[in-house]
Structure 1
Amino acid sequence: MLDALTLDQIRMFVTVAEAGSFRSGASRLLRAQSAVSHAIANLETQLGIALFDRSGHRPVLTAAGLALLEDARAVLLKVDFMKARARGLGEGVETELSLVVDTLYPLPVVAAALKDLRDALPAVRLRVTTEPLGGPLQALRDKRCDLAILAGEDFLDPRIETEALQPVAIVAVAARGHPLARRHKASLSSRDLADHLQVVLEDPTPLSQGRDFGVLSPETLRVGTQDAKRALILAGVGWGRLPRWAVERELADKHLVSLAASALGPAGLAHTATYLARRTDEPLRAAAALLRSALQRHALAADVPAVRRKGARGDAVR
C-alpha cells in the first residue's frame, strides 16, 4: 500500500500540519476541505497510523504524525529540487542575475567574481545590493534575488541551500579622539564598553525581532547601513564593530583604533562565518553557476586565518 502514496497526499499532510487545521490547509491549497480531509484519511490508512488526533476542536499531530512530518518535508524538498534542476537543464543562459550580499562580506571578493562573470557572459544584466542581518535571507525567501551571501548562523533556513565561503574578521573600533581610543592598548571589559554609546546595525526584516547581536552598551545609536555606521564611528559619535576589510586604511592611518575588548573576542577580534545561499526550488542556471564558482574561487584566495577554513562556527555580532 505504501507504493500508492502520492506527492499530493504528502503535500496536503505538511500543509495542514503547518496551517493548524484542515480548513486553513485547504484554503492554502485552494482545495475543498472535504477533499483534503479525505486525502489525509486515505494517507493514514495507507500508512497504517493516525497522523492527527481529531478529538479536540482543532486537529493535533500525533506522536507518529510529528515523527513523519520531517520525513514528509524532506520528500517535498527533494522533489522541488529535482524539478528545479530539470528546469535548469532545459533552459539556456539567464538574461539577468541578482545577488544580495550581507554588509559584512568583503566587496572586493564580490567584485572579482562579478568581473569573471562579466568576462565570460557580458550580455547578462547584473543587479547587486547589500543588506544587513536578515536582509539577504529575506530576499531569497521573497524571490527578490537568485543568490545571496549570508553572514553568521542566525539566519539559516532548511529551504535555503548554503555553501560555506570564507570567515570574515570583525574588529571593535573607535575614532582616534574617542575616550576608548586612549585605552586601546589595555584590555577593555564589558563594563568599560557599556559606559559609551555603541553604534549598531538595525535589521530591516523581522527575522531578528527581539534579539540583539553583540550589543553591550545600554545606550545605542541604531542605523540601517554599514556606511552610516562607519561614518558615525569615524566621526567619534560612538564605538562599534566593523568588518576589518572595510576599515583597513583607516586603521593603518590611525583614524580608527582597534579596541582590545576581550568580551568581543581575543583582542576585540572575532570571525563570522559566511555562506553562499540559494533557494532549493529554483534551478541553478548558467550565469548563477558561473558566479557561484567564481565566488568560491576568490573566497579561497582571500586572506583569512587557516584555522577558520576548517569550518569553525562564527559569531553573528553586528
Structure 2
Amino acid sequence: MIESLTLDQLRVLLTIADTGSFSAAGRKLYRAQSSISQAVAALEQVQGVLLFDRSGHRPVLTEIGRVLVDQARRVLASAQQFEAVAASTRAGVEPELTLAIDPPIPSSPLIESIRALNAMFPDLPVTFSTEGFGGSLRRLRSKTADLGICVLLPLVPDDMVAFPLMQVQLQAVVARDHPLATLGRPAERDDLAPYVQLVLSDPVDPGSPNYGLAGERLWRFVDLGRRLDFLLAGFGWCRMPHYLIAQPMADGLLVPIDIAGDQTPAEGLTIYAAHLRERPPGRAGRWLLTDLKARLNRGL
C-alpha cells in the first residue's frame, strides 16, 4: 500500500538493480546485507509481488521487478526535483518563472539568456507564453506572468516597472503584386482605404488599444508568423519588424511603402522587460533581467 512505501525502499531496489547483488548494494549504501534483504522483503510483502528471483547465485529481477524498477527511477527523480525546488525557494528563487512575450519580440536575444538562466538555475521551471499584441500587459496584471518582454504603448503604465531592452525597426510593406507596390509616392489615407491592413491584436481583448492603424479594413492576427504568410500571399499591407522581412525584401517578394504622415517612431518600437510594480521578480527573474540587459548592451 502507498502509505507503507518509502523512498528508502525504492532506493535499495534501484541500487540492487544497478549493482547486481544484495551484497554490492549494501557496500554502496554502507549498510549490512541483512538490512538490504529486509528492505526488499518488506517491499515485496507490502506490495504483494516478487521483485527478485533468488533461485540462482545472484538475484535476478522478475518481470514485474523490471517494471517497478523503472517506476522507482521516476519516483526518486521526482522526489529529487521536489527537494531541489524547495531548496531553491528557501534561497530566494521563485518556484516557477513565467514569461509573457509579445509577438514583435525577436527570439534570438532571448535564447542565450534563457540558456544561461537554465545553467544558473537548473531546477527552475520556466513557462513561456507568446501573447497577442498587448497580451503580456494583460497577463502581468492578472498575475499569471512574472515578467513581460513586451511593447508598452503609448507610455509605460503607472502600475508597471519597465526596463528598456532594445529597439525593433518597423517597415510598412506589401507583396510585390499588391496594387500599393506600384503607387510610386507616399500613400495617403484614401490610397489605403480600399485595402486590408493586417494588424496584431489581443485575442482575449480585441477592443484593447491598437496603434499604427491607418487603414479602414482590418484583419486581426495574434501570431506574427501567420500574418507574414498572409502578407506574402498579397492579402494586405502592414508594418513588420525589419528582422522578419529583410530576406523577403532582398528576394523581391515584399516591397516597402511610405505612408504619408506616418507617426511610427523612426527609432522603432522599444522592447521592455516589465513586471507589476507590486510583484517584483525573485532571484531568478532579477538575474534574467540583468543578463538580458548586459547581452543586449553588448549587441549579443
TM-score, normalised relative to structure 1? 0.60
Give distance in 2, aligned partners of 1:298 and 1:247: 24
Q: Displacement, 1:237?
A: 0.7
Residue 171 in structure 1 maps to residue 191 in structure 2: no
- Give the Cα–Cα distance (whole angstroms) in 2 for the partners of residues 210 and 159 of structure 1: 17
- CA 292–211 in structure 1, closer or farther in 2 if over 3 Å, else same: closer
Task: Give the paired residue count.
Answer: 213
- 1:201 Cα offset (Å): 1.6
Q: Is the 8 A contact 2:99 2:145 kept in 1?
A: yes
Q: Which residue is equivalent to 2:185?
A: 186
Bigger radius of gyration: 2
2:98 matches 1:98? yes
> Which residue, 226, 233, 241 being the options, matches 1:243?
241
Structure 1 unaligned runs (5+)?
1-87, 304-318
Q: Is the 8 A contact 1:104 1:132 kept in 2?
A: no
Q: Which residue of 2 aligns with 1:127?
A: 127
Structure 1 distance, partners of 2:236, 2:192, is: 10
Question: Which residues in structure 2 correspond to 1:215-226 (within 5 Å)?
Answer: 215-226=213-224
Name the structure 2 match of 1:83: none
For residue 127 of structure 1, give the secondary structure of its aligned residue in structure 2: strand
Task: Tell me by how many angstroms 1:199 deviates.
Answer: 1.0
RMSD: 2.7
Percent of aligned positions that are identical? 27
Alpha-carbon distance in structure 2 between the residues aligned to 1:269 and 1:182: 23
- Tell me the equivalent position of 1:47: none
Distance in 1 (CA, whole Å) between partners of 2:182 and 2:299 is 32
Q: How does 1:1-318 map to 2 (within 5 A)?
A: 91-154=91-154, 156-183=156-183, 186-206=185-205, 209=207, 211-265=209-263, 271-302=268-299
Is the 8 Å Cα contact of residues 134 and 155 (structure 1) preserved in structure 2?
no
How far apart, CA to CA, are the structure 2 residues paired with 1:196 and 1:236? Answer: 10
- Report the secondary structure of 1:165's partner residue: strand
- Quote how far apart the aligned CAs of 1:91 are: 4.1
Normalising by the residue count of structure 2, what TM-score does the alignment of the two structures yield? 0.63
Work out which structure has the larger RCO, using CA pairs closer than 8 Å and 6 or more positions apart in sequence: 1
| Structure 1 position 302, deviation (Å) | 4.0
2:127 alignment partner, SS class? strand
Is the CA contact 1:169–1:243 (under 8 Å) kept in the aligned structure 2? yes
| Aligned-partner Cα distance in 2 for 1:205–1:270 | 29
What SS does the corresponding residue of 2:290 show, helix, strand or coil?
Answer: helix
Is the Cα–Cα contact under 8 Å of residues 109 and 296 in structure 2 kept in the other structure? yes
Deviation at 1:282, TM superposition (A): 2.6
Deviations 1:32-69 (A, max 9, x none): xxxxxxxxxxxxxxxxxxxxxxxxxxxxxxxxxxxxxx
AA paired with 1:108?
Answer: S
CA shift at 1:93, angstroms?
Answer: 2.4
Indicate if the aligned counterparts of 1:171 and 1:270 stay in contact, CA closer than 8 A. Answer: no
What is the distance in 2 between the residues matched to 1:198 and 1:301?
36
Deviations 1:185-220 (A, max 9, x none): 6333333222321111222344x7374422222122
